Structure 1
């Protein structure tokens, strides 16, 4: 290796190291600040204490809000995976004129018309059907916003399933629902896991929808965290950091579980 190549490679490694350190700073803050007696916005070794978690347990809204977030995430995940799988299977197997155009149009519209732009008509609709200030209304709105993308992704998995699998089941007298339940869904489980993780992550950090739709009902953690202030109106960094660490555990645990189970190595409908 020539000196010029050596200098270039060393420079590249130094640049990568600096970027890695820069990206790791928020994670280090999240790990250290909850245990610091006087946390600040800078990252440093903490003055170890458990007072922040004691204050978190005494807060009447903190732990219940995580339960509400779990209800929203799991409810939305169940609806998105269920309806997304049914719709994706139908679009994959049934020849409908303009099928691909319809699918791309749904995906495009869901990307262009964001939740912020659609919130006024959504709020009006929820008011008319009596679902404002209900957890069900939040789950349904979140489900509607994520279904187009879920259908688009799951259809790719459905397309990767050889039709011979279904034909063999049909020869033995299986009904369409039996084929879907016993043949198709077991093969596309990695795709369903992908959609489940994606849905939970999207719902877990969603602020706008529950903030707008929930008035008196209990609110999820993404909304409650914005209420953690001191009496002087300053952000309570001790409470925020402790709550943020606790708030991140379910998503990280789910990612580790799914990654160990499927490895996130997906190719079409069949894992390689």
Structure 2
């Protein structure tokens, strides 16, 4: 190994170490600051205390907002996975003119027409349907925005599933729904797990739609309640924000680790033929 190769490897290792250090600082702050008796904006070894957690428990909206986030994320994930699986199976197995064009158009429109651009018509639609200040309204709106991408991902998994399995099930008298449930779903389970985690992460961190459609603070999710952890002068309450941020991140990280260990994350799949 010549000197130039050694220098190149040292430079590459140094660059990677600097990048990893840069991105690890916020994680260190999130891990240490909730246990610091005097929280600061910089990451440092904490003067250990659990008082910040007591302050968080005394907040009337903090824990309730986490429960609301779970309701929104679970409801949207259930709807997205169910509807996307049915739509992906239909689009994969039924040959209709313009099928692929329709799917790409839906995916393109869902990327271009974001919640910010459509918030006025969304609000008017929710108002006319009496869905303002309702968890159901937020779940339906978020589900509609996430469905095209979820269908696109699951269709690829379904396309890779051999139709011979379904034909064998039909020979024994299985209906299309029974075939989907007992034959296709077990095969595309990694895709369903990927879409579930992706949906939960999207809903868990969404601020605009809950802020727009929910008026009662008791129904607001954690992403909206965190916005209230500031003083009247706009200064952040670091004790509340750091502690709440730690609790806020744990459910999604835990679910990601569980699903990644159990199924792995893939955005294409089925059975390799």
User: Which segments of structure 1 move beyond 4 Å, counting only runs of 4 or more?
Assistant: none
Q: Are 1:239 and 2:240 counterparts?
A: yes
- Residues matched between the structures, number: 272
CA positional deviation for 1:118 = 0.7
Q: Are 1:261 and 2:262 counterparts?
A: yes
Which blocks of at least 5 consecutive residues in structure 1 are unaligned? none
Indicate the residue corresponding to 2:32 in structure 1. 32
Question: Does the 8 A contact of 2:190 with 2:264 survive in 1?
Answer: no
Counterparts of 1:144 and 1:74, CA distance in 2: 15
Question: Does the 8 A contact of 1:190 with 1:271 survive in 2?
Answer: no
Question: Does the 8 A contact of 2:162 with 2:271 survive in 1?
Answer: no
Indicate the residue corresponding to 1:228 in structure 2. 229
Normalising by structure 1, we get a TM-score of 0.97
Counterparts of 1:224 and 1:149, CA distance in 2: 28
Indicate the residue corresponding to 1:114 in structure 2. 114
Indicate the residue corresponding to 1:68 in structure 2. 68
Correspondences of 1:95-134 after superposition (within 5 Å): 95-134=95-134
Q: Secondary structure at the match of 1:270?
A: coil
CA positional deviation for 1:130 = 0.5
**Post-superposition CA distance 1:154-177 (Å, at most 9, x none):** 000010000100111111111111
Question: Does the 8 A contact of 2:153 with 2:268 survive in 1?
Answer: no
Normalising by structure 2, we get a TM-score of 0.97
Q: Secondary structure at the match of 1:117?
A: coil
CA positional deviation for 1:267 = 4.6
Q: Are 1:167 and 2:167 counterparts?
A: yes
